[in-house]
A and B are shown apart, each in its own frame.
Chain A
Amino acid sequence: MHKIKSWYSGLKKATKTDFATYLGVILAFLIVFPLQQKGILSRSVSGMLIPLCAYIVMAVSLNLTVGILGELSLGHAGFMSVGAFSGIVTAMSLQSAIPSPAVRLCLAIVVGAVCAGVAGVIVGVPVLRLHGDYLAIVTLAFGEIIRDLITCLLVGYDSRGLHVIFNASGSRTLEDLHLAEGGFAIIKGAQGATGTEKISTFFAGFVLIMLTLIIVLNLVRSRSGRAIMALRDNRIAAESVGINVTKYKLMGFITSAALAGAAGALYGLNYSNLSATKFDFNTSILVLVFVVLGGLGNIWGSIIATAVLYVLPEALRGFADYRMLIYAIVLILVMLATNSDSVRNLYSRLFQRKEAERDA
């Protein structure tokens, strides 16, 4: 017992926070899961569990880009979208080859992550050369481009394999896929994916959150994480100590994109109908709000902020109309509170002693 105590007190604050984060997520799952299995939770709450897991992963991954790497990405929903639709295509095409839904879900998530990662490379390589506001607007542009491209896709599957048509002119239809007997369409252009078999589970969501935490937290506390944060704090100084700026910016950005893709796959396989327009600028902003309110760079903050802000509107069902308005006001107030000079001075005078010894 004494050994454990002394080991615990010898740990750095950062490690303790990480442990608490894992523990918190595990506990939350252990409480909610049996409730869900026994059918105690209301239908609406039950229905929110999987999307909530997806959004938590989205928030943590966006925090990697915005909080840890320090680059504002306004197109995160685009990566979620890529992950969702590639995951759906994977899961639906493998229906006969792999009967087990759990295995198909895993494969779909992996494929979603890989495809989103590739998208991350395509977006990241040109974009990360830009700075600040320019980078923000270009990521936003990419998000919109991805959405528009997916609404042009016609994808079907039959015994001969996968058929894909890129319907740029809008004149092609599902007929042009020439699907054989027994084949079916997976993505129908602007309508998106319909008739998807819902194979996502809450347990899978929990596992995905844990994996995301392991990846992000371990990355941050490692040499690569330090390099990424150095880039955020002072790019010129980081270069002067030999850090390859492009390599580490890409590393952070692509990891973030891949995780968003995994979240997208989980999300997409939870709905029988899903259109690409769901993953637009507004979704990107929503996730950004979760990240900012939870604290930039603060992983457990992202989890709690997402959980609260996603669940709360359900609790305030009567105020549904005012929900986004309240979001907006809260967002503005929080930004003013944490950033305006007068508030900062007050804060530092109250907590002056602790300032110097705060752990990084």
Chain B
Amino acid sequence: MEFLSYLISGISLGSIYAIIALGYTMVYGIAKMLNFAHGDVIMVGGYVSLLAMSELGAPVWLAVLVSMVVCTVLGIVIEGLAYRPLRQATSLAVLITAIGVSYFLQNAARLVWGPNPRSYSAVISGTLPLFGGQLPISYISIVTVAACIVIMAGLTWFTGNTKMGKAMRAVSEDKGASQLMGINVNRTISITFAIGSALAAVAGVLLCSFTTSLMPTTGSMPGIKAFTAAVFGGIGSIPGAFLGGILLGIIESMAKAYISTQLANAIVFAVLIVVLLVRPTGLLGKYVPEKV
């Protein structure tokens, strides 16, 4: 019974990682860059939703919506100002710029909202007692997993069946050819960032509900872990992000429960390293050989 409880906890945590990982993987697929600032957009989403609920007294659904709008705008602005001018630059340069944006967001948040942790009450409280009260599952866990599944399904449908979705796939394969086919590459990339950032807002709300606290550095570690989940599952692959996220959440939860709380992170990272050594492109990734 205890095992199941840890498993469920791991799946809910993993769902959050999966939602974050989806943002990373979509952006990487299309812009071939690691958006280090993604974790911090999550944090911003958390703060905006918190303020909407506490200061403006907005109901949960409205707070989430406002947060999504703010993050979407933030994502588009970041892409336009910091990443777009560097389209032709080396991936190292873009990565470092992304790190700069990440630091900027963290420190701006620190100045605006203070460095102290704030408490964040879960958007849905209460638990569902299963097996006669022996296995309580919190409603927030259920909502989290449900949200993840809905988002995953939605994105898969979107990229497979809509014009914009196909444009996104085309641009990830070959920017030049897409442009020649009349696809507006800049707009496609902006929209990808927009979707990723909107997802980040949702992830922010769910993450803060899970951990019930929020500070400027809240997004940093989950961001890194979610990125490792995306790489773990195969960067650029949507099902890969889902699989990677869920697996990572389960591994972290189990490691915390059965091995060591302190070493849980180390174990998660160690698993990542082992996977990458055995399958350098991740679990579901594609191998693209270099042309000589």
- Decide if A and B touch, CB cutoff 8 A: yes
Measured between alpha carbons, how far is A236 from B290 in the docked complex, in Å? 10
User: Do B265 and A335 touch across chains, with their CB atoms under 8 A apart?
Assistant: no
Does A356 make an interface contact (CB < 8 A)? no
* Residue from A136, A144, A281, A331 in contact with B34 in the complex, judged by beta carbons closer than 8 Å: A136
Chain B: which residue is nearest A326 at the CB level? B107
Chain B: which residue is nearest A322 at the CB level? B111
Chain A: which residue is nearest B230 at the CB level? A137
Q: Which of B270-292 contact A (CB under 8 A)?
A: 270, 272-273, 276-277, 280, 290, 292
A133-B34, A281-B224, A328-B100 known; A340 and B85 CB under 8 Å? yes
Give the bracket for the number of chain B residues in contact with chain A. Answer: 35 or more
Does A222 make an interface contact (CB < 8 A)? no
Secondary structure call for the A interface: helix
User: Do A148 and B86 touch across chains, with their CB atoms under 8 A apart?
Assistant: no
Does A229 make an interface contact (CB < 8 A)? no
Does B56 make an interface contact (CB < 8 A)? no
User: Do B111 and A321 touch across chains, with their CB atoms under 8 A apart?
Assistant: yes
| Interface residues of A, count at CB 8 A | 48
Chain B residues with CB under 8 Å of A170's CB are 260-262
User: Do A335 and B111 touch across chains, with their CB atoms under 8 A apart?
Assistant: no
**A193 → B minimal CB distance (Å):** 17
Chain A: which residue is nearest B220 at the CB level? A281
Binds B, one of A43-51, A124-132, A265-273: A124-132
User: Do A325 and B104 touch across chains, with their CB atoms under 8 A apart?
Assistant: yes
Does A9 make an interface contact (CB < 8 A)? no
Q: Which of A32-62 contact B (CB under 8 A)?
A: none
Chain B residues with CB under 8 Å of A169's CB are 260
Chain A: which residue is nearest B280 at the CB level? A130
Measured between alpha carbons, how far is A149 from B106 in the docked complex, in Å? 27
User: Do A324 and B107 touch across chains, with their CB atoms under 8 A apart?
Assistant: yes
Per-residue 0/1 for A319-350: is the Cβ within 8 Å of any B Cβ (1 yes, 0 no)? Answer: 00110110111011001101111100000000
A236-B290, A236-B292, A328-B100 known; A129 and B269 CB under 8 Å? no
Per-residue 0/1 for A220-256: is the Cβ within 8 Å of any B Cβ (1 yes, 0 no)? Answer: 0000000000000000100000000000000000000
Per-residue 0/1 for B31-47: is the Cβ within 8 Å of any A Cβ (1 yes, 0 no)? Answer: 00010000000000000
Does B12 make an interface contact (CB < 8 A)? no
Does A8 make an interface contact (CB < 8 A)? no
Chain B residues with CB under 8 Å of A138's CB are 272-273, 276
Per-residue 0/1 for A56-84: is the Cβ within 8 Å of any B Cβ (1 yes, 0 no)? Answer: 00000000001000001000000000000
User: Do A332 and B100 touch across chains, with their CB atoms under 8 A apart?
Assistant: yes
Does B212 make an interface contact (CB < 8 A)? no
Chain B residues with CB under 8 Å of A324's CB are 103, 106-107
User: Do A142 and B260 touch across chains, with their CB atoms under 8 A apart?
Assistant: no
Chain A residues with CB under 8 Å of B276's CB are 130, 134, 138
Does B213 make an interface contact (CB < 8 A)? no
Chain B: which residue is nearest A291 at the CB level? B96
Does B228 make an interface contact (CB < 8 A)? yes
Does B73 make an interface contact (CB < 8 A)? no
Measured between alpha carbons, how far is A142 from B272 in the docked complex, in Å? 10
Binds A, one of B87-95, B138-146, B155-163, B203-211: B87-95
Measured between alpha carbons, how far is A341 from B88 in the docked complex, in Å? 7
A144-B269, A321-B111 known; A335 and B97 CB under 8 Å? yes
**A106 → B minimal CB distance (Å):** 32
Chain B residues with CB under 8 Å of A130's CB are 276, 280
Chain B: which residue is nearest A134 at the CB level? B276
User: Do B34 and A329 touch across chains, with their CB atoms under 8 A apart?
Assistant: no
Does B171 make an interface contact (CB < 8 A)? no
Chain A residues with CB under 8 Å of B28's CB are 133
Chain A residues with CB under 8 Å of B93's CB are 335, 338-339
Measured between alpha carbons, how far is A296 from B96 in the docked complex, in Å? 12
Does B250 make an interface contact (CB < 8 A)? no
Does A119 make an interface contact (CB < 8 A)? no
Chain A residues with CB under 8 Å of B272's CB are 137-138, 141
User: Do B111 and A285 touch across chains, with their CB atoms under 8 A apart?
Assistant: no
**B226 → A minimal CB distance (Å):** 11
User: Do B263 and A339 touch across chains, with their CB atoms under 8 A apart?
Assistant: no
* Residue from A148, A336, A342 in contact with B265 in the complex, judged by beta carbons closer than 8 Å: A148
Does A199 make an interface contact (CB < 8 A)? no
A selection of 10 A-B contacts at a CB cut-off of 8 Å is: A129-B277, A138-B273, A141-B270, A141-B273, A145-B266, A152-B260, A168-B263, A170-B261, A332-B101, A336-B82
Given contacts A148-B263, A338-B93, 14 further A-B pairs with CB under 8 A are: A132-B91, A141-B228, A142-B269, A144-B269, A168-B260, A236-B292, A288-B99, A321-B111, A328-B107, A332-B101, A339-B90, A340-B85, A341-B85, A341-B88
